Each structure stands twice: as C-alpha cells, then as structure tokens.
Chains A and B, each alone.
Chain A
C-alpha cells in the first residue's frame, strides 16, 4: 500500500479507536437534535381555558354564558368567583375571563392579558363562541387543517445541525488533530523521513472527507426515521454542497492548526472561529433575524452560506440553481485558507 494509503488508514484507525471522539462527532449531534426536537415539537394549539366569573346576584346569567361557551369546540370552561378568576388569569391557569354584565352593554365583558398570545386567543375564542350562539342560523365555513412539508421547526433545525457538524468536524478534526501531531513531535518525526508532505496533507483531507459523508449519512438516517426528514431537492447537488462544506471547513481547520504549538492555543482559536458562527449563521434560528447593518457580515460567513444552501436543497426542493452563491462563498473561504495554511505551515 502507498504512503498515502497508510497515512489515511492510520487516521481512520486513530479515530474509530477513540470512543470519546466518536461520541462527540456522532453521538452528540444526535442527542442535541433529539433534545431540541422534543423541546420544539409541534403539537396542535391546545384548547383555550376560559373562566366565567360567578355573579352571585344573577346566577342565571352566569349559567347561560357557561352553557353557550361549553357548546363551542376547543374551549374549556370553568366557573369561579371574582378573586379566583383574577388569580387564575394572573397565573395563566385561565387564558381569559368572561364577566356577566346583565342589562349593560353586550351583557358580558372580557378580561385578558394583551401581551400573552394564549390570552388573546382565549378572548377571541370566547367571543366567537358567544357570537355564534347569538346567530345560530349563520352557516359555519368548512375547515381543513393542512401541513406543508418542510415547515416544522425540526425541518429548519436539521440542516442547521448538519452545517454545524460539518463546521465542528472540519475545524476540530483537522485543526486540533494537526496541532496534536505537532505537540507530540510526530510532525517533526514524519519530516525526518522521506514522506512526501503532500501525501500527509492529502491523507488528512481524504480521511476528513470520508468522515464527513459518514457523519451526514448517519444524521440524515436518524432524522429520516425519527422526524420524517428527507432531502427533497437534487441529491447530487446536496452531496456537492456537503463536500464543498467539508473541504472548506477542513481548510479553515488546517489554517488554525498550521502554526499552533500547544493544544490550548489551537482550542482557543478553534472556539473563537466556531462560536460566532454557531450564533450568527442560522443554526438554531434564521440568520435574517440579525439587524440589517450586520447582514453583510452574517451573509459572508461560510456556515451561513452552507446552511442556506442545505435548507434550499433539503426543504425547498432546490437543485443546482440554488448552489452558485453558497459554493462561491465556501470556495473563496476554502481556497484562501488552504493557500495561507500551506504557506505558513510549521512542521515542528
């Protein structure tokens, strides 16, 4: 076997024989995805709870209101005295309160909290129920609930996690690994042999590329079975995007690892590069939420470009037509960091 083959194989062996590395690269993103998906799992909006305030002077009016509200689907109704009603509204146990005012105005009024959407929904639901009860002859429009593919939060999240995983894998898998080899003086030991330096660098890229695809395949498989997520667009365009992302982040990792003499320096630099992108590049929420003044910066980040591309292909069903911009941004970052890394690389 060639030196390139041996070097690449050695990187595979070192990786798969290190359970901690396996966990952080493969286990951790899966746990993160599952946890976040549970936290943000989308259930139908729950029924509103509406209290009717007991009017001791006119229990008939109270009962009439309760009966009308109880008839409406998707409403839970309870009757309490004034103090209890206020307390339940304050502690969010009730979403809105209907107060009977017989002989005055509409015959009832609403208490609600206008800063809480559940409270506004509760007020509207009660109002609608009472209106319908007042006009029983009006026809009710037909309603159909529909779900658009790719509209759930988990659909948004998984491409972001894929991008984040490619970033972390590339930066740590290359940057940290190279710094570690230098600290252990293995780079210097390799330099003392006839090993071609291009073989060494190529072996790092090759092994990284394979890890990247294993990584993505694993996350996608789990996401498919757990959350029914699939790549809706062109699978080749998707693969090209993943390869471009993996190569770009490997280049950034190589740049960071090209001179670091201690693991602490390497870890510091890696985190300094990674954390801003985790926040700014639209992993957990859309990058477009940042102010317009910051967008030129946010949009120039390689992870933003990758995440936009992944979401376009996975969720919007896009093909090659969505790729030029992400590939351009990634290509610029990748080429530049490789060129600089090779120029300043330190073997000892």
Chain B
C-alpha cells in the first residue's frame, strides 16, 4: 500500500552566515489512516519539515512523496487532496465564518458544504459572526474548518492547540479523531505531550533536524526503560544526597537524573524500587521533602533522550 507520506534523507539549509541547518537528513513514513505526531522543542525543524511536505517550501535535498506523488509532478493533484492549517494565519476580520469557509470551499473541485465544515468544528452558532468577534479557540477551529472543507485525504495541523483553553483543545481533539474514524490521515505537530499520547497512533520525536525516536507513544515510553517515574525532592536545607551509582543500583531502576534538589528515576516496578529507595535514604541521612510516583510520559522520553525539556518554560 502506498504510504500517505514518504520522506527520505530530507535536508533543508537556510542561506545565512553561518548557514542554518534546519533539517539534517530526516526520514519519515506515514501510513494511510493513521494520526501521526511530530514532536520536538521550538526550532527542532518540525515546521520546516511540515512545510516541505506541504509543498510550501523547497527542500535543499532529499525525496518527498505525498499520496504517492511528488510535488514536481503532481502539485495540482496533491493540493486538491490535502488540507492545511498553518501556524499563525490571520483570516480576514471582516468576513463572517460562513463566508470564510465558503471562500476556501470555492478553491476545491469537490468537498463538504460550508455548513457541514462549520458543523464538524462545532461553530454553527457563530456562522454569521465576523471573524474578529471570535475567541482564540474559535478562530483556531475556523482555521481547521478551512482545512477540512475540501474533504482532504490528508490533513496537516501545525500546532493546532497551542495557547488554547482546555475546552477548545478537547473540541479540536474530537475533530481529529472524527477525521481518523473516516479513514483519513492526520499529521499534527505539537508541544503538548499529553495531546500526542492521546491522539497519535505513532509519533516522531524531532531534535536538531533529525528524528531521534519513532514509534507509538507506548513503545517509546517502554523503550526508555520502565513505564513508571519516581520524582524525589530532597529537603534543600540538608546536604546529604544519594549518589547516582546508589540510585541506579536500586531494584528495577533503569535511569536516574538529577536536577537541583529533584531526582527523577525511571523504574519497572515501583513497589520494589520505593522501599529500597527509602532504606537507602535513611542510611545516608538524606531528608526527603517530597516523593511522587507517576506513569512515564513522552516528556520523560524526550528528557531521557536529550537531557533537555521539550519546552524551556516547563
């Protein structure tokens, strides 16, 4: 079966002094009907990669096939079958929601009616409102409606939920799930790890212009060693600490990372690791201010792989 997207050895270097290597040999394959997530910190090359796949940017080198076609040969055919929601597009303030969707519908030879597209993103009540009267979340849903109105086989959403309130985020998740239920392919970039875990069948973690991990969220979490995470906060007033050798020697603990007064352990079996950890702390005289266990997230995957957080503010 032809994949929805196939990318081989993609390189994008922006001319500057020194040249900026935004994408450095990236490979991807997205199957028809899956929801695929591109994760990574700001500046990792997610948007550049996406815009090359969308045919909005030229690659420096590498191969890109979308729905089995290349942009050079099949631009018109690809355009009719994909829908795109870009980051930070400002639609015209003085058009109504329905007028905006109808305008975009007129570009496609076939597709939904404007009212159907508006209903899919739940904006029926705002159909006659000017764009300028919409909230941030409503504007974002309108942007998705303009991407859906051509009934695309392949939908691209670049950071669709950044800066949105929880309710708007959940509404957009429903739109994406509905699209997947119709057997359509969705490619989404996001900062939010919980979003990727909930929505995506597979994710690619991108850092410095390369894919550093690829698989289903569960696979990736399992791959970093253990589905459980123990966060331990020392009392900053005392100096006694456990060494990292001591920590990784604890039963089922696979990795340890120290950040300030916090130690984060990944563990296969918390019920065995925790008593041993407490015993070791008591023996060393280390005072514990806080102790939590949780299931591992994609954020932990990223931190384990790169030593950095996905978002500098988190």
Please indicate whether A and B come from the same complex rather than being unrelated chains: yes
Whether B90 pairs with A193 at a CB distance below 8 angstroms is no
Q: Which of B92-100, B188-196, B297-305 lines the interface with chain A?
A: B92-100
Q: Tell me if A191 is interfacial: C-beta within 8 Å of chain B.
A: yes
Q: A192-B86, A194-B80, A195-B107 are in contact. Are A18 and B56 (CB under 8 A)?
A: no
Among residues of B, the one whose C-beta sits closest to the C-beta of A2 is B106
If over half of B's interface residues share one DSSP class (helix, strand or loop), that class is named, otherwise mixed; here it is loop
A185 and B146 alpha carbons, distance in the complex (Å): 14
Chain A nearest CB from B302 CB (Å) reads 28
A194 contact from B79, B86, B99, B130, Cβ within 8 A: B79
Chain B nearest CB from A14 CB (Å) reads 5
Q: A185-B89, A192-B84, A192-B86 are in contact. Are A10 and B103 (CB under 8 A)?
A: yes
156-186 of chain A: CB within 8 A of chain B: 184-186
Whether A188 pairs with B86 at a CB distance below 8 angstroms is yes
A47 and B288 alpha carbons, distance in the complex (Å): 105
Among residues of A, the one whose C-beta sits closest to the C-beta of B146 is A189
Q: Tell me if B88 is interfacial: C-beta within 8 Å of chain A.
A: yes
When distances are taken between beta carbons in the complex, the residues of chain B under 8 Å from A7 are 103, 106
A176 and B56 alpha carbons, distance in the complex (Å): 23
When distances are taken between beta carbons in the complex, the residues of chain B under 8 Å from A144 are none
Q: Tell me if B16 is interfacial: C-beta within 8 Å of chain A.
A: no
Q: A6-B102, A10-B99, A348-B56 are in contact. Are A194 and B108 (CB under 8 A)?
A: yes
Q: Tell me if B226 is interfacial: C-beta within 8 Å of chain A.
A: no
When distances are taken between beta carbons in the complex, the residues of chain B under 8 Å from A193 are 79, 84, 104, 107-108, 150
Whether A185 pairs with B94 at a CB distance below 8 angstroms is no
Whether A184 pairs with B86 at a CB distance below 8 angstroms is no
Whether B91 pairs with A188 at a CB distance below 8 angstroms is no
- Binary contact readout A1-42 vs B (1 if CB under 8 angstroms, 0 otherwise): 111011100100110011000000000000000000000000
Whether B107 pairs with A186 at a CB distance below 8 angstroms is no
A-B pair count, CB < 8 Å, reads: 65
A10 and B130 alpha carbons, distance in the complex (Å): 13
When distances are taken between beta carbons in the complex, the residues of chain B under 8 Å from A17 are 94, 130
A193 and B100 alpha carbons, distance in the complex (Å): 14
Q: Tell me if B54 is interfacial: C-beta within 8 Å of chain A.
A: yes
Q: A5-B106, A6-B102, A6-B103 are in contact. Are A14 and B92 (CB under 8 A)?
A: yes
When distances are taken between beta carbons in the complex, the residues of chain A under 8 Å from B55 are 192
Among residues of B, the one whose C-beta sits closest to the C-beta of A3 is B106
When distances are taken between beta carbons in the complex, the residues of chain A under 8 Å from B150 are 193-194
Whether A13 pairs with B94 at a CB distance below 8 angstroms is yes
Among residues of B, the one whose C-beta sits closest to the C-beta of A347 is B56
Among residues of A, the one whose C-beta sits closest to the C-beta of B104 is A193
- Binary contact readout B95-128 vs A (1 if CB under 8 angstroms, 0 otherwise): 1000100111011110000000000000000000
When distances are taken between beta carbons in the complex, the residues of chain A under 8 Å from B91 are 184, 186, 189
When distances are taken between beta carbons in the complex, the residues of chain B under 8 Å from A192 are 54-56, 79, 84, 86
Whether A14 pairs with B56 at a CB distance below 8 angstroms is no
Q: Tell me if B76 is interfacial: C-beta within 8 Å of chain A.
A: yes
A191 and B54 alpha carbons, distance in the complex (Å): 10
Chain A nearest CB from B131 CB (Å) reads 10
Q: A13-B99, A192-B56 are in contact. Are A184 and B90 (CB under 8 A)?
A: yes
When distances are taken between beta carbons in the complex, the residues of chain A under 8 Å from B56 are 188, 191-192, 348
Chain B nearest CB from A214 CB (Å) reads 18
Among residues of B, the one whose C-beta sits closest to the C-beta of A183 is B90
Whether A1 pairs with B106 at a CB distance below 8 angstroms is yes
Among residues of A, the one whose C-beta sits closest to the C-beta of B105 is A6
When distances are taken between beta carbons in the complex, the residues of chain A under 8 Å from B88 are 185
Residue from A5, A6, A7, A193 with most neighbouring chain B CB atoms (10 Å) = A193
Among residues of A, the one whose C-beta sits closest to the C-beta of B57 is A348
B95 contact from A3, A14, A348, Cβ within 8 A: A14
Among residues of B, the one whose C-beta sits closest to the C-beta of A191 is B56
Whether B95 pairs with A185 at a CB distance below 8 angstroms is no
Whether B94 pairs with A18 at a CB distance below 8 angstroms is yes
When distances are taken between beta carbons in the complex, the residues of chain B under 8 Å from A348 are 56
Chain B nearest CB from A263 CB (Å) reads 13
- Binary contact readout A325-348 vs B (1 if CB under 8 angstroms, 0 otherwise): 000000000000000000000001
Whether A6 pairs with B79 at a CB distance below 8 angstroms is no
When distances are taken between beta carbons in the complex, the residues of chain A under 8 Å from B86 are 185, 188-189, 192
When distances are taken between beta carbons in the complex, the residues of chain B under 8 Å from A2 are 106
Among residues of A, the one whose C-beta sits closest to the C-beta of B130 is A17
When distances are taken between beta carbons in the complex, the residues of chain A under 8 Å from B79 are 192-194
A348 and B47 alpha carbons, distance in the complex (Å): 14
Whether B106 pairs with A13 at a CB distance below 8 angstroms is no
Chain B nearest CB from A192 CB (Å) reads 4
Among residues of B, the one whose C-beta sits closest to the C-beta of A21 is B94
A194 and B108 alpha carbons, distance in the complex (Å): 6
Chain B nearest CB from A344 CB (Å) reads 17
When distances are taken between beta carbons in the complex, the residues of chain B under 8 Å from A195 are 107
- Binary contact readout B138-167 vs A (1 if CB under 8 angstroms, 0 otherwise): 000000001000100000000000000000
Among residues of B, the one whose C-beta sits closest to the C-beta of A6 is B106
Chain A nearest CB from B117 CB (Å) reads 13
Chain A nearest CB from B87 CB (Å) reads 8
Whether A185 pairs with B76 at a CB distance below 8 angstroms is no
When distances are taken between beta carbons in the complex, the residues of chain B under 8 Å from A13 are 94-95, 99
Chain B nearest CB from A347 CB (Å) reads 9
A136 and B109 alpha carbons, distance in the complex (Å): 94
Chain B nearest CB from A194 CB (Å) reads 4
Residue from B80, B88, B94 with most neighbouring chain A CB atoms (10 Å) = B94
Among residues of A, the one whose C-beta sits closest to the C-beta of B78 is A194
When distances are taken between beta carbons in the complex, the residues of chain B under 8 Å from A190 are 107
When distances are taken between beta carbons in the complex, the residues of chain B under 8 Å from A188 are 56, 86, 89
Can you show 5 pairs from A to B with CB atoms below 8 A apart? A7-B103, A13-B94, A13-B99, A14-B94, A194-B109
Besides A193-B84, A194-B150, 15 new A-B residue pairs in contact (Cβ under 8 A), listed by A number: A2-B106, A6-B102, A10-B103, A13-B95, A13-B99, A14-B94, A185-B89, A186-B91, A186-B92, A189-B89, A190-B107, A192-B55, A192-B56, A193-B104, A195-B107
A positions within 8 Å CB-CB of B? 1-3, 5-7, 10, 13-14, 17-18, 184-186, 188-195, 348
